[in-house]
Structure 1
């Protein structure tokens, strides 16, 4: 007999890493494909009092990585407007290999504190670990 846990997809969860509350999104949730999706995540994160949203790379559509589409800029602007950080977690190497502009965007983003592109959750844990 199947239980609800057998048929329901994994849910987004709140996790605290090194004193930072983050909304860790499930891999099979709705795509982060525009401002509406960003606002949905921002609202969920705000309701749960998260400071950072970690979205698996598989939930980010190809168009996000095509900077000319404007999708990445619109999404990042919404997160910044609501003072919420965003981390895209997972392998985006093929996208980066295909675009010098994206490679530069990822590099610059990872130098700051608003948007990170990280290969895995271990790197997110490391990034949030206090220094010293």
Structure 2
């Protein structure tokens, strides 16, 4: 992939707000893209507060991703979490 070959990086982080619009609009496309990251051994993190999600398919998707090695949904740490 261009990202890793041009920058030498194997990690990408995105804010939840950016990811949410894309995920809702293009669920199947999103899964294909995330699968590509895994195929090229690029770690991908989506950072934000996911506690308010009510969609079971999205909750299941987050759970499955977090069990793997390439795509992670990372909650925001607040000062009270430290």
TM-score norm. by structure 1 comes to 0.49
Structure 1 regions of 5+ residues with no counterpart? Answer: 1-41, 123-132
Query: Is residue 80 from structure 1 mapped to residue 6 from structure 2 by the alignment?
Result: no
Q: CA deviation at 1:45?
A: 3.6
Q: CA deviation at 1:53?
A: 0.7
Q: CA deviation at 1:81?
A: 2.2
Q: Indicate the residue corresponding to 1:48 in structure 2.
A: 7
Give me the CA root mean square deviation: 2.5
Structure 2 regions of 5+ residues with no counterpart? Answer: none
Runs of 4+ in 1 over 2 A off after TM superposition: 91-94
Whole-angstrom distance in 1 between the partners of 2:45 and 2:77: 10
Whole-angstrom distance in 1 between the partners of 2:47 and 2:77: 7
If asked which structure has higher relative contact order (CA below 8 Å, sep 6+), I would say 2
Whole-angstrom distance in 2 between the partners of 1:121 and 1:87: 14
Q: In terms of Rg, which structure is larger?
A: 1
Number of corresponding residues: 78
1:110 to 66, 69, 76: 66
1:86-101 equivalences in 2 (<5 Å)? 86-94=44-52, 96-97=53-54, 99-101=55-57
